[in-house]
Amino acid sequence: MAVRLQMKLGYAADAARLPGSPDAILSFEPTIGSVVRSKGSLYLVATARTNGPRVGEATRMVAEAIRDAYYYDESAGIVVCLEKAIRAANKKILHQRDRLGGDKSDEANGPLGVGLAVVRGNELYVVTVGPAEAFLVRQARLSTLPDSNRARGLPSNDLEPSVWRGEINVGDSLVIASENLVARLGVDALKDALLTLHPQSAMEQLQAHFVAAGGTGSDAAIAIEATEVSATTRQRRLVPVQAREPLAGVPDRSPIPLADSFSGAANSIQETAGRATAAAGGAVGRGFGRVLDRLPRRRPGQRTVTPASSRVETQRRAAIAVLAFVVLALVLVSAISVVSFFKSTPGGDLQSITAAQRAFQAAQGDLAQVNGPGVDLVKNDRSRAQQLLDDAWTQLAAAEKAGISSAVTAPLRAQAKAGLDELYRMLAVNSTQAFSFAKATPPVNLSSLVLGPDGAPYVLDQANKSVDRINLKTGQAVVVAHAGELVRGVRVDVPLFVSVGGPDLLILDAKNVLWRWRPADATGRGTIVRVIVRNSSSWGNDIRGIGTFVRNANQGLYNLYVVDPSQRNIIVYTPALDGSFPASSTGRLANPQDVSAVNSMVIDGDIYVTQNGTLNRFINGAAQGWKAGDPGDEILRSAPQYTLLTTGTDRDTGLIYGYDQPNQRVVAIDKDTGNIVEQYHLAGADSSWSDLRGIAIVPGTNGGPASLYWIDKNRLVSSTLVAVPEAGASPSVAPSSSPSASPIVKPKPTKKPTPTKKP
């Protein structure tokens, strides 16, 4: 018989879900056989990108409308009925969007989403519309359903739902969830929960993880698992039959004459012998028992009762014994410690002093070989200089550990560090404050920096939700865009990202609306217009950054790049002649991957991104084996962790600059080879890079040095990347002491026993 399937169902209860969630969950498993065979079971999730009681009413209305329309329609098959049911719900929500608080400004891609599945026998039908996703887990592998792009959300004037059809087998699991929940937890968490837990337990665990991760808004999810129902068959009922043989049932007889008589006699003799043996054994046992009964026996002792006072006394004595043992052990340990202290001699301290002096002298000797009269191994023999400087640094650490004061080793340590910095091309540079918002009212909180199309710095102010242009000549800042600004009937939302594309400054706000600001003159005046980007409202709230690449400089056209973790890719839009982006997006990365940790992106024809501290380059959408070089100065600093990037040159030329936040340095990397060209740190005690939030580079002209701009919380600071000397750290100065000189190390004082007063 064919295997029958039974669905295990799981979803979080309403009490366990977030109070502000607008989503609706519906499952309908018919009990009438004809309906089960023709329509199957329906599992549905209705989601929304926005919150509110009217939005929740809309999602419930959509779910019930789809269920009623699907089971009422008997005119066609499952695929056609599902498409008609979704269109009917879309039509109903379009008619009632005013009462439900709908927004007519974005009918191309509505805020409501639907994810549903129909199971009939071993047939599976799946539809996803808008912000809803479906995943099939089969043999520990997770697949996204449908495999094509999802249809637009509800309400929509040109809704075209697509039904995916396949099979569901024993052990397969299907989960339908909102886009917001999947973006917060990730698909790996869904797969692990479905593989290890019952669907109900898996959904409850995912809901708990979503709440613990700080998730808000849409959180609906429903899961089903296909299991086998064992087939049962009715056995035949036993009926009496008549034997065909005439002698059937008659006792068997031997054909040999008198054989049955002899066998019967032998059996009788055996039974008689067995009974006689049992009787004899019983008589012997009874006689032995009588003999044991006549033997003398000892009377049992009388029971005694111990008084309660005796038990208490015994316990008290045991406690005193244990306490005395503990006190004795403590006294012995203390006595041994005192004896060891009084018998200690300064020999150990003398050995420590000798080791410290030797380490200090070894460090002096190493530095003298690196930089002596007429000797400069850093320039002439870099490998030998590295060995000596590394050994000097290690010896100084050993000398300090053995008792030499850090104030004594400081001059040598500064010389060793200067030599290592020169060896690894680390340059000290000065900083100059270019502009300050410190006295601004209200206070500012800068987060991003770009050099605009007119060469002026533009900064993103999170505190005041604005984008400001800084005029370095006049020392003034002008707001070019801010949240709440009304542009042709549409208000600008909170700016999140800024970028430069050709002659335009691009601003992406919190509603995924792209704005284009174009300067009119050098005073900060300009015009701002909205740029149409197809399906931008479907990006969600997890965008990690935007970027551009000039496609036609004469016409001012450029491609738009968006880092979208929900699509696991960097998507790119090509422009129309009017500068809008009406065409569908394409994934720029050849192999989709997790981009949720990308925090900086630079595009010069190739794509450079920083993610989890590493710097990666993608050529034509794929990694080509390029890798940023190792600075090699692990003895002084930890491995670089890049968080910000900038460049001022074209593809495959010049340098790309990366900011290493843990070590507060900027590293210049050759684009072609990946080798480290130079490193920079601020001279002296300047801590301007401790709170660095954005960087931009201006290449030097005629072979001159480049200029680096950066921002912290409320300042714009610049630096010309030219090395400046640091006090007391010049590697060209020979060690101040000769190798034979030794520092004075005072031994640790030994405590003398206090004399005991006579009585």
- Tell me: the pLDDT tens digits for 223-270? 999 999 865 555 566 666 656 666 555 566 666 766 677 777 777 788
Angle at 123 between CA 120 and CA 124, to 5 degrees: 95
Q: Give the pLDDT score at 357.
A: 82
Secondary structure percentages of the chain, helix, strand, coil, to 5: 30, 30, 40
Strands (DSSP E) contained in 413-484 are: 426-429, 432-436, 446-451, 457-461, 466-471, 476-482
- Pairing mode of beta strands 557-564, 569-573: antiparallel
Q: Give the pLDDT score at 755.
A: 43
Closest CA to 427 of 710, 705, 106: 705
Q: Give the pLDDT score at 100.
A: 56
**What would the 3-class secondary structure string for 474-491 be?**
CCEEEEEEECCCEECCEE
CA 348 to each of CA 100, 155, 255, 336, 747: distance values in angstroms, whole numbers, following the listed order? 85, 84, 111, 19, 10
Q: Which amino acid is at 421?
A: D
Task: With a cut of 50, list the residues of the chain below it in pLDDT.
Answer: 102-108, 730-759
Under 8 Å between Cβ of 78 and 120: yes
Q: Is the pTM of this model over 0.85?
A: no
Distance, in Å, from the CA atom of 492 to the CA atom of 490, rounded to the nearest integer, reads 7
Under 8 Å between Cβ of 613 and 643: yes
Under 8 Å between Cβ of 107 and 152: no
Distance, in Å, from the CA atom of 664 to the CA atom of 488, rounded to the nearest integer, reads 45
Tens digits of residue pLDDT in 647-665: 988 888 889 999 998 988 9
Domain 4-229 coded CATH 3.60.40.10 = yes
Half-sphere exposure of 362 (CA within 13 A, CB side): 19
Q: Give the pLDDT score at 664.
A: 87
Q: Give the pLDDT score at 732.
A: 43
Angle at 603 between CA 663 and CA 721, to 5 degrees: 45
Tens digits of residue pLDDT in 258-314: 667 777 777 778 888 888 877 777 778 888 778 877 777 776 655 556 677 777 888
Angle at 214 between CA 209 and CA 218, to 5 degrees: 80
Closest CA to 393 of 418, 422, 357: 418
Closest CA to 424 of 271, 632, 284: 632
Q: Give the pLDDT score at 742.
A: 42
Closest CA to 356 of 402, 312, 292: 402
Q: Where are the domains of the chain?
A: 4-229, 348-424
Closest CA to 508 of 555, 445, 562: 562
Strands (DSSP E) contained in 96-197 are: 112-120, 123-129, 132-138, 141-145, 164-167, 173-178
Q: Give the pLDDT score at 745.
A: 42
Q: Give the pLDDT score at 411.
A: 86
Closest CA to 230 of 5, 464, 543: 5
Distance, in Å, from the CA atom of 433 to the CA atom of 719, rounded to the nearest integer, reads 9
